[in-house]
Amino acid sequence: MTSTRDDGSARSGPDQDGPRQDGARFEGAQGEGPPLAAEGTHPPRVSGDELERMTQPQLARLAAELDDVDVVHNQDPWPVPGTRAERRAAQSVVLWFLISALSALAFLLAFLFWPYEYVAPGTPGYATYAAYTPIVGGMLGLSITALGIGVIAYVKKFFPDEVSVQQRHDGPSEEIARRTVVAQVVQAGKETGFGRRKMIVGSAGLAAGVLGVGVGVAAVAPFVRDPWKGGDEAALWVTPWRSVNGETVYLRYDTGDPEEVALVRPEDQEPGSMMTVFPFREADRGNEEALIHGLRASDAPVMLIRLRPGTPTVWQPGRDLHYGDYIAYSKICTHLGCPTSLYESQTDRILCPCHQSQFIATEYGRPVFGPAARPLPLLPITVNEEGYFVATGDFDAPVGPSFWEMGSV
C-alpha cells in the first residue's frame, strides 16, 4: 500500500512488502557492525542472534525504522570537536550547574543551622530570624531554577539540529521496538557528546546530587525529633498554662506592652462577647523574656467567651471547666492550626476563617461543620478570691492540629 504524506510525496506504508526509500537516513550508523537482516522490509525482520550482534548505532537506527521515523534534517552543532566556541558553550552550561550546586548547598546549610526560633520584632536577633524563610526558600528556588536552565542550555547548545517526521500507528509498540528504544536513547546521548563532556557531566551530577541531599534532609528532618519524648511532660502536652510549683496562672490580655500586665475580671467582658487572653505568673513580672514568651507562644492564645445570660448549654455534671457564663477555649484550630478568632454570639459558634470549621461554644467546642474533627481544647478556669480569672490546670486536650495525636491516644 502507498500512502500520501502531508507534503504530497508518496511513501511506503507499514503493510507494504516493497523496499523502503528511507534506508540511508542515519549516515553515522551506516557501515558499523553487521548489516541489518532483511533490510529494506518494514517492519524490519531481525532474528534474536542478529539483534545480539548489532552495534549501538545499528540498534538506534533500527529503533527509528521501527518507529517509522523520517529524519529530514540532522546536523551536528559542533562538527569539529574541541573548538574554542564549543568550550565556551560547555563552560556556560557548567556555570549554571555550579550555581545550582552552590545554592543547594546554601539551602542545606541554612536549613540545618540558621536560627529559626521565634524572635519578637524590635528585639535583638529579629532580623536574622525573619530572614530564615526567605533564605531557605530563595536558595532552594535558585538551585532548582539554575539546574533547569543548565539542562535547557545543554539541550540547545549540544543537541543536533534535527527535523524528524513520524507516522502514527495504532496500538502498543512491538517487543523489538521496546528493546531498541533504550539503544536509541543511548545513541542520542552519544551524538550530543555527553559522555566526553566531563565538566558538564560532573557539574550536572554535583548539582543534582547536592540538591537531592538537601531535599532529602528537609524531607527526613521532621522525623528525627520524637515529639512524644518526655511522656506526660512532652512539649506537645505542656503549654504555658501549666502551673509550675503550684503557682497561680492568671488570665491577662495584651495591651501591646509585655511589661504592662492587665489581669482579667468577669466584669471586664460584655455578655455575648469574646476576648483573647494569655497566661501570666507573678514570677514572670519584670522578666521581659518570660512575659514575651507568654504572649507569643503558639499554644498560649485562649478565647475567653462570655455567653449571653440564659443561653442553653450541655455542661456535664462533674466536668467543671467553665465559670458561670464564661468558658475558655484554645484559639488554635484543631484542623491545621489557624487562629479561630470569630465568635458568633447569636448561634454560639466559633468559626475558623481558614477552612470554615465551626465549633459549638456551649457544647465543649464540639466541631459541627468543616474539616476539623476534634473539639477545641478547653482551659479550665475559675475566679480567685481577689476577683481575677485564673486557670485551674492546663488544657484538657493537646492544642493544635489533630495529626499530633496519631498513635498516642
Q: What is the residue type of 194?
A: F
DSSP per-residue letters across 282-341: GGGTT-HHHHHHHHH-TT--EEEEEPPTT----PPTT---SBTTEEEEESB-TTT--B--
Binds ligand FES (CB under 6 A): choice among 108, 147, 372, 391: 372
Selecting among 42, 293, 322, 335, the annotated active-site residue is 335
Q: Mask of contacts with ligand FES, 349-368, x by CB under 6 A?
A: ---x-xx-x-----------
Candidates 74-82, 116-124, 289-297, 334-342: pick the segment binding ligand FES (CB under 6 A): 334-342
Distances (CA, A) of 135 to 115, 119, 140, 211, 310: 11, 17, 8, 15, 54
Of 104 and 333, which has the nearer Cβ to ligand FES? Answer: 333
Give 5-11's long-range contacts (Cβ < 8 A, gap of 24+): 5/165, 11/70
Of 265 and 355, which has the nearer Cβ to ligand FES? Answer: 355
Place of cell 528556588: 141
Please report, as residue ranges, which positions from 250 to 309 form the binding site for ligand FES (by CB under 6 A). Answer: none
Provide the minimum distance between the beta carbon of 328 and ligand FES in the complex, in angstroms, as a whole number: 18
Give 318's contacts (C-beta < 8 A, 6+ positions apart).
Answer: none
Of 291 and 333, which has the nearer Cβ to ligand FES? Answer: 333
Candidates 15-23, 235-243, 273-281, 335-343: pick the segment binding ligand FES (CB under 6 A): 335-343
| Spatial separation of the C-alpha atoms in residues 82 and 76, rounded to whole Å | 13
Annotated catalytic, 169? no
Of 371 and 393, which has the nearer Cβ to ligand FES? Answer: 371
| Spatial separation of the C-alpha atoms in residues 310 and 360, rounded to whole Å | 16
Beta strand ranges found along 108-160 (DSSP E): none
Question: Is 370 a binder of ligand FES (CB under 6 A)?
Answer: yes
Provide the minimum distance between the beta carbon of 374 and ligand FES in the complex, in angstroms, as a whole number: 11
Of 109 and 336, which has the nearer Cβ to ligand FES? Answer: 336
Please report, as residue ranges, which positions from 201 to 240 form the binding site for ligand FES (by CB under 6 A). Answer: none
Provide the minimum distance between the beta carbon of 372 and ligand FES in the complex, in angstroms, as a whole number: 5
Cell of 35: 548489516
Of 5 and 355, which has the nearer Cβ to ligand FES? Answer: 355
Of 192 and 334, which has the nearer Cβ to ligand FES? Answer: 334
Give 261-265's long-range contacts (Cβ < 8 A, gap of 24+): 261/285, 261/291, 263/388, 263/389, 264/304, 264/388, 264/389, 265/383, 265/387, 265/388, 265/389
Closest CA to 46 of 32, 62, 60: 62
| Spatial separation of the C-alpha atoms in residues 316 and 127, rounded to whole Å | 49
Binds ligand FES (CB under 6 A): choice among 186, 217, 262, 338: 338
Provide the minimum distance between the beta carbon of 368 and ligand FES in the complex, in angstroms, as a whole number: 12
β 358-360/381-383 pair status: unpaired
Provide the minimum distance between the beta carbon of 352 and ligand FES in the complex, in angstroms, as a whole number: 3
Torsion region of 337: left, alpha or beta (phi above 0 gives left; psi -120 to 50 gives alpha): left
Q: What is the residue type of 199?
A: M
Question: Is 331 a binder of ligand FES (CB under 6 A)?
Answer: no
Annotated catalytic, 42? no
Binds ligand FES (CB under 6 A): choice among 67, 336, 382, 402: 336
- Largest Cα–Cα distance of the chain, in whole Å? 106
Q: How many residues bind ligand FES (CB under 6 A)?
A: 12
Binds ligand FES (CB under 6 A): choice among 63, 108, 206, 333: 333
Of 328 and 372, which has the nearer Cβ to ligand FES? Answer: 372
| Spatial separation of the C-alpha atoms in residues 129 and 224, rounded to whole Å | 22
Provide the minimum distance between the beta carbon of 353 and ligand FES in the complex, in angstroms, as a whole number: 8
Question: Is 177 a binder of ligand FES (CB under 6 A)?
Answer: no
Catalytic residues: 335, 355
Contacting residues toward ligand FES, per CB under 6 A: 333, 335-338, 352, 354-355, 357, 370-372
